[in-house]
């Protein structure tokens, strides 16, 4: 059938197809390595090809934009710098957007330390988005939520990997004036399954359950690549 299943291993797991399907017949299924790939219910599929039209792998021309200007950017707030993996640029953009009454989307941990994109409308929740998470974030239904917010006249900031940003623009089918995006220099991501297995290993090593994880903590040595994890009774770097 003529649908998203034809792209196979080229899929980047952005979930634009699943969020776009008018028949809701596309689900995202983990492969053996833990990466998401689309699975189509062939009986429900009507071959409308919306999934292909909304795929950033199938359609590359629309997101080939030249930058207007280039800046070096560093957050001026020392507290926010310490909470960030690097210079806190994305965090300062999020703070500015929220102060303007806008909406921010970015990667955050849940209680099980799974990473997914969430919506933030309050500065008190901004800390959830701080610091890099070096694992694939689940976009869930964030693209659909962005579309809804834009239709309400809200200004939106969306941060993510280049694949996720491309997926968002593909889903929207254009470049709305009130949408701002921040994509990262990315060399590829580990799968959520890989990170989950790593946390299970650390649970055994610490004889507890990891409740906090920071891929690049500055608490002890400042800028660097030192991780920090915490259980209820232990801290490990």
- 190 C-beta neighbours (distance < 10 Å), count: 15
> According to the model, what pLDDT value does residue 190 have?
93
Q: What is the 3-state secondary structure (H, E, C) of the chain?
A: CCCHHHHHHHCCCCCHHHHHCCCCCEEEEECCCCCEEEEECCCCCCCCCHHHHCCCCCCCHHHCCCCCCCCCCCCCCHHHHHHCCCCCHHHHHHHHHHHCCCEEEEEEECCCCCEEEEEECCHHHHHHHCCCCCCCCECCCHHHHHHHHHHCCCCEEEEECHHHHHHHHHHHCCCCCCEEEEECCCCCCCCHHHHHHHHHHHHHHHCCCCCEEECCCCCCCCCCCCCEEECCCCEEC
Q: What is the pTM of this model?
A: 0.89
Cβ neighbours of residue 79 closer than 8 Å, sequence gap 6 or more: none
**Can you read off the two tokens belonging to residue 208?**
């507890």
For residue range 73-102, list pLDDT tens digits in order. Answer: 777 877 776 666 675 678 888 999 999 999
**Can you read off the two tokens belonging to residue 78?**
């020392």
Identify the segments of the chain with pLDDT beneath 70. Answer: 61-65, 67, 81-85, 87-88, 218-222
> According to the model, what pLDDT value does residue 229 have?
85
> According to the model, what pLDDT value does residue 63 have?
60
> According to the model, what pLDDT value does residue 219 have?
67
CATH number for the segment(s) 4-59: 3.30.70.20
State how far the Cα of 114 lies from the Cα of 235, in Å rounded to an integer: 20
> According to the model, what pLDDT value does residue 65 have?
66
What is the sign of the dihedral through the CA atoms of 114, 118, 121 and 127? positive
Question: How do the domains of the chain map onto residue ranges?
Answer: 4-59, 68-237
For residue range 59-70, list pLDDT tens digits in order. Answer: 876 666 676 777
């Amino acid at each position: 059938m003529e649908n998203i299943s034809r792209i196979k291993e080229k899929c980047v797991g952005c979930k634009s197809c699943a969020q776009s399907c008018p028949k809701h017949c596309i689900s995202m299924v983990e492969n053996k390595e833990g990466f998401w790939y689309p699975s189509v219910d062939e009986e429900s599929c009507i071959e409308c090809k919306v999934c292909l039209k909304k795929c950033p792998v199938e359609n590359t021309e629309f997101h080939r934009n030249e930058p207007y200007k280039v800046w070096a950017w560093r957050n001026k707030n020392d507290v926010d710098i310490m909470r960030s993996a690097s210079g806190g640029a994305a965090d300062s953009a999020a703070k500015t957007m929220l102060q303007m009454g806008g909406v921010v989307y970015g990667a955050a941990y849940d209680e099980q330390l799974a990473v997914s994109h969430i919506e933030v409308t309050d500065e008190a929740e901004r800390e959830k988005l701080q610091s890099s998470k070096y694992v694939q974030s689940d976009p869930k239904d964030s693209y659909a939520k962005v579309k809804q917010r834009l239709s309400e006249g809200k200004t939106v900031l969306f941060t993510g990997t280049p694949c996720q940003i491309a997926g968002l623009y593909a889903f929207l089918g254009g470049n709305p004036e009130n949408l701002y995006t921040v994509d990262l220099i990315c060399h590829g991501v580990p799968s959520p399954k890989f990170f989950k297995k790593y946390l299970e290993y650390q649970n055994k090593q610490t004889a507890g359950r990891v409740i906090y994880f920071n891929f690049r903590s500055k608490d002890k040595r400042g800028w660097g690549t030192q991780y920090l994890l915490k259980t209820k009774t232990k801290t490990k770097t």
